[in-house]
Amino acid sequence: MADPVSSIRNLGPASDEAFARAGIDSADELRNLGPDEAYFRLLDAGHSPHFIGYYAMVMGLQGRPWNDCQGKEKAALRKRFDKIKTRVAAGVMSDLAHDAAFEKIMDEIGVRPTR
């Protein structure tokens, strides 16, 4: 069985449920997506944006305590966080949703054989 999202430092049991609603069911999946795409999917799934939650996740993925984020690093993460929120507000699809929409169109026009 895969390690849960909550096995990542700084993330608790509530993270398992929140990320699962975004289609992210394991720590490895979150790591493979990276913090920005994973957080985008979390927000896109309806979770409210929270800067401390975002940078706690980023720090956890680096194996660092959440309160290790300070100064210029914190300011740079704030810019990334704001870009993620803007992307969600603009209605930009997640990579997964984009791929699914593309495949649906290909199926509709008959490019791929029916399954």
Residues in CB range of 44: below 8 A, 6 or more apart: 22, 88, 94, 97
pLDDT of 62-114, one tens digit each? 999 999 999 999 999 999 999 999 999 888 655 555 555 566 666 677 776 65
pLDDT at 48 over 80: yes
Please give the pLDDT value at position 17: 95
Q: Which numeric CATH code is attached to 5-108?
A: 1.10.150.20
Name the DSSP letter for residue 9.
T
Please give the pLDDT value at position 100: 56
Please give the pLDDT value at position 101: 56
SS3 state of residue 24? coil
Torsion of CA 45, 57, 84, 51, to 10 degrees: 100
Q: Are 23 and 95 in contact (CB under 8 A)?
A: no
Number of CB atoms found within 10 A of residue 46's CB: 10
Please give the pLDDT value at position 1: 81
- Region 7-34: mean pLDDT is 96
| Rounded-to-integer distance, Cα 63 and Cα 83, Å | 24
Q: What is the token pair recorded at 33?
A: 């997506």
Q: What is the token pair recorded at 74?
A: 């914190």
